[in-house]
């Protein structure tokens, strides 16, 4: 039976980390909200599950995955669940917790990237918190991006099995795919701030480039199925929030 991925229609957002794993593995999946209503798909199908008063284990928010009767919510949790099934997790049990720890650190970065444009409230428009967004984005560019990226660079260098090419273990994992997405997203949102990424974080950028060239990822990018970045997503390009750094 196909996996069912539930996520907001029209944006990459957190769902994209899951899509990249499903696409790399050529897994059979349905992107539920992007399907037709007459087939029981669409956003209504997702809202019905989110609002259900009878579902034994209702999710709090998208993305969530449905595998038969089991609903698995939260991006990192979905990837932890899918990783071994898709051949995208380390074989070693201990390293799977290392992978999950890295994925949760990536999730923290994603939340901070989101909060650059919504530092006060997700219930207010960006325009209504623009000054605060400028302050938070400035801190993110100056302090947070370097702290996370230096760490990820170090993870690649210190991974004893990865030959500086994999975040964990000696083969491609979902964490590598997520690192690709982090570089893509930060470059889209902050082209000035990320201009010298390849100089500062050469192994992270090399990993990004290697993932981009993988046949299934390249085919996915060319297919039209990958929604372009836009200003409904997590990574948004507001030029006034971007700035050059050395």
* Contact residues: its own copies, CB under 8 A: 53-61, 64, 70-74, 76-77, 80-81, 94-95, 97-98, 100-101, 104-105, 108, 111, 115, 119-121, 123-124, 132, 135-136, 139, 143, 148, 151, 154-155, 158-160, 168
User: Which residue number, 53 or 163, has a Cβ lying nearer to its own copies?
Assistant: 53
CA distance linking residue 105 with residue 202, whole number of Å: 20
CB 175 → its own copies: shortest distance, Å? 12
75-86 and 93-117 helices, crossing angle to 10°: 140
Nearest to 25 by CA among 77, 67, 86: 86
CB 105 → its own copies: shortest distance, Å? 5
CB 87 → its own copies: shortest distance, Å? 19
CB 144 → its own copies: shortest distance, Å? 8
Summarize the chain as % helix, strand, coil (round to 5). Answer: 55, 5, 40
User: Which residue number, 74 or 181, has a Cβ lying nearer to its own copies?
Assistant: 74
CB 69 → its own copies: shortest distance, Å? 8
CA distance linking residue 67 with residue 87, whole number of Å: 17
CA distance linking residue 63 with residue 171, whole number of Å: 26
User: Which residue number, 114 or 226, has a Cβ lying nearer to its own copies?
Assistant: 114
Which stretches within 118-201 are classed as H helix? 130-139, 145-158, 174-189, 197-200
Find the distance separating the first CA and the last CA of the chain, reported in whole Å.
50
CB 240 → its own copies: shortest distance, Å? 16
User: Which residue number, 119 or 220, has a Cβ lying nearer to its own copies?
Assistant: 119
User: Which residue number, 106 or 211, has a Cβ lying nearer to its own copies?
Assistant: 106
CA distance linking residue 233 with residue 117, whole number of Å: 10
User: Which residue number, 25 or 65, has a Cβ lying nearer to its own copies?
Assistant: 65
Angle CA(6)–CA(236)–CA(129) in degrees, nearest 5? 105
């Amino acid at each position: 039976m196909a996996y069912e991925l539930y996520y907001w229609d029209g944006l990459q957002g957190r769902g994209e980390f899951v899509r990249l794993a499903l696409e790399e593995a050529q897994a059979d999946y349905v992107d539920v909200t992007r399907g037709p209503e007459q087939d029981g798909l669409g956003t209504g199908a997702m809202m019905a599950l989110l609002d259900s008063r009878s579902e034994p284990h209702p999710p709090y928010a998208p993305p969530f995955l449905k595998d038969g009767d089991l609903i698995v919510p939260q991006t990192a949790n979905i990837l932890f669940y899918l990783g071994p099934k898709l051949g995208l997790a380390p074989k070693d049990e201990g390293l799977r917790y290392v992978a999950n720890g890295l994925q949760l650190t990536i999730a923290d970065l994603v939340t901070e990237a989101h909060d650059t444009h919504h530092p006060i409230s997700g219930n207010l428009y960006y325009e209504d918190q623009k000054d605060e967004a400028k302050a938070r984005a400035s801190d993110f560019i100056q302090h947070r991006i370097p702290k996370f990226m230096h760490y990820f660079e170090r993870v690649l260098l210190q991974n004893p099995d990865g030959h500086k090419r994999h975040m964990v273990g000696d083969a491609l994992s979902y964490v590598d795919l997520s690192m690709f997405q982090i570089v893509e997203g930060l470059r889209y949102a902050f082209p000035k701030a990320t201009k010298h990424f390849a100089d500062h974080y050469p192994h992270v950028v090399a990993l990004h480039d290697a993932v981009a060239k993988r046949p299934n990822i390249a085919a996915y990018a060319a297919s039209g199925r990958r929604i372009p970045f836009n200003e409904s997503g997590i990574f948004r390009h507001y030029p006034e929030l971007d700035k050059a750094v050395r």
